[in-house]
């Protein structure tokens, strides 16, 4: 049985950076799909904001083209776009802001969502102007896209400035990975089944792997990426949030702060990685020319138009959590650009049976694994050892119990942004990061960045289309383990 969509209050959703890649490729399509399912009230308004000198018709034409290319229905797209408008504003200039405030004021009872899909350098200017025009009052909310700062100090400056205009209950720091169906199903698996939670500890789990791999290079994001790198872009936010969902203690309920309190405890329990151990616990790499998806591709430095850069496009880490549940269980984390396949997954690897009763001729007795795939196709696999059917002696096989969400429920799963955008409208912050979570994540990540800078070492080169530097393999194999790369099985 498919759950019916829950209605929301009429709202005004304003997207700063409304002509940008995220807005056109993700946010507007997500809202379009919620419109199709009848979740966007007729009185709601969606307003794109950018510096380009477009009018409503020009903006709608741009979105119509993008939605049609995404497989949308022309008639439904046109109906959706009647709720979409555009205003040209510059966050650092006064022109147009009075008129914009008047437009928003036409619907004083609406929920107001201001989505800052811009460079973090503009967060403060935009919030100051929203506050100056009184748009932070009533049912107003602000959504901050990652990265929030590039270290703890800059994150605090942004959070302080935003906090002077919007209080914490109005502030939604988005991480779209937390909106993915598989991540939320991790909660259901752990806390809704008697099977897993008794085994979810150091006594039964050997290690955990979290992989976020991309086949693409930096492309049009080269300018941003060279000032960020893989640790800031992916590990400090997405991957640490996934780690928290795996490792947190059972919350007392699904109330927002109950869940976020437990995630914060995990972040604060991470063992430090700094100059004393970064060389042993981390690997960073940078891709060179190679092949991706059957085509020759340039290296990172070529995509930067030459020159030198010590920015990492790949990182692998061995993280450890210093608490009773996870003491001695390593969490191997890796992410990178120009890897062999696009895949995001969590692999929970259980300990081997303490004694095998089977002869060597039966085959290898493999460890049980629970693999949660986030993308490209969301599914859950529990790998078990069984007897191969048929006569001829006992032969062991390692096979998955496989549950694909699309096949099991007969519907395409909503994009993460579809869920998260409407959670903001509802005022539900469960799947968003609280300020103290952001601070705790930066407190762990900053010493790693400092250690890399102090070492003076360049990122290790790896060929595009491979799984990163060979040192990343050594990181896990010196512990007698291997990376999970059976995604095609």
Distance, in Å, from the CA atom of 89 to the CA atom of 101, rounded to the nearest integer, reads 12
* φ, ψ of residue 25 in degrees (nearest 5): -90, -25
Active site residue 227: no
Distance, in Å, from the CA atom of 173 to the CA atom of 435, rounded to the nearest integer, reads 8
| Angle between helix 152-163 and helix 123-132 axes, rounded to 10 deg | 10
| Angle between helix 56-69 and helix 74-81 axes, rounded to 10 deg | 150
* φ, ψ of residue 55 in degrees (nearest 5): -110, -175
Q: Tokens representing 86?
A: 């555009």
Distance, in Å, from the CA atom of 338 to the CA atom of 465, rounded to the nearest integer, reads 6
Given 176, 238, 355, 398, the catalytic residue = 238
- Kindly give, in sequence order, each residue whose CB lies less than 8 Å from that of residue 206, ignoring residues fewer than 6 positions away: 329, 349, 350, 351, 352, 367, 481
Q: Tokens representing 162?
A: 């935003």
Q: Are 338 and 287 in contact (CB under 8 A)?
A: yes
Instruction: Cite the active site residues.
Output: 238
């Amino acid at each position: 049985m498919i759950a019916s969509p829950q209605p929301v209050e009429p709202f005004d959703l304003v997207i700063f950076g409304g002509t940008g890649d995220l807005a056109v490729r993700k946010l507007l399509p997500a809202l379009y799909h919620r419109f199709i399912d009848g979740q966007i009230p007729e009185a709601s308004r969606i307003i794109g904001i950018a510096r380009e000198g477009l009018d409503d018709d020009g903006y709608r034409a741009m979105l119509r083209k993008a939605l049609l290319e995404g497989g949308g229905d022309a008639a439904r797209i046109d109906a959706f776009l009647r709720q979409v408008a555009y205003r040209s504003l510059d966050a650092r200039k006064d022109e147009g802001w009075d008129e914009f405030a008047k437009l928003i004021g036409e619907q004083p009872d609406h929920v107001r969502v201001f989505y800052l899909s811009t460079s973090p350098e503009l967060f403060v200017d935009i919030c100051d102007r929203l506050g100056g025009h009184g748009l932070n009052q009533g049912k107003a909310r602000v959504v901050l896209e990652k990265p929030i700062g590039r270290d703890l100090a800059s994150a605090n400056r942004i959070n302080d400035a935003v906090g002077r205009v919007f209080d914490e209950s109005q502030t939604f720091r988005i991480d779209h990975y937390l909106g993915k169906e598989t991540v939320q199903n991790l909660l259901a698996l752990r806390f809704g089944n008697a099977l897993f939670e008794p085994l979810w500890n150091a006594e039964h789990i050997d290690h955990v792997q979290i992989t976020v791999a991309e086949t693409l290079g930096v492309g049009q994001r080269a300018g941003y990426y060279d000032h960020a790198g893989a640790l800031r872009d992916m590990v400090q936010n997405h991957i640490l949030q996934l780690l928290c969902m795996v490792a947190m203690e059972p919350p007392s309920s699904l109330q927002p702060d109950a869940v976020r309190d437990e995630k914060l405890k995990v972040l604060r329990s991470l063992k430090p990685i700094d100059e004393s151990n970064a060389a042993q616990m981390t690997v960073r790499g940078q891709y060179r020319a190679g092949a991706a998806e059957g085509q020759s591709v340039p290296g990172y430095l070529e995509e930067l138009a030459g020159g030198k850069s010590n920015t990492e496009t790949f990182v692998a880490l061995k993280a450890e959590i210093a608490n009773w549940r996870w003491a001695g269980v390593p969490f191997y984390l890796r992410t990178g650009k120009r890897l062999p396949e696009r895949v995001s997954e969590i692999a929970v690897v259980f300990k081997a049976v303490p004694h095998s009763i089977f002869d060597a001729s039966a085959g290898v007795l493999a460890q049980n694994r629970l693999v949660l795939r986030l993308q490209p196709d969301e599914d859950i696999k529990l790998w078990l050892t069984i007897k191969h059917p048929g006569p001829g002696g006992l032969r062991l096989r390692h096979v998955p119990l496989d549950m694909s969400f699309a096949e099991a429920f007969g519907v395409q799963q909503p994009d993460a942004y579809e869920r998260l955008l409407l959670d903001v409208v509802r005022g539900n912050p469960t799947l968003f990061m609280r300020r103290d979570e952001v601070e705790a994540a930066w407190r762990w990540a900053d010493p790693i960045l400092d250690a890399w800078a102090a070492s003076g070492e360049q990122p290790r080169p790896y060929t595009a289309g491979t799984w990163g530097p060979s040192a990343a393999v050594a990181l896990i194999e010196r512990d007698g383990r291997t990376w999970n790369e059976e995604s095609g099985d």
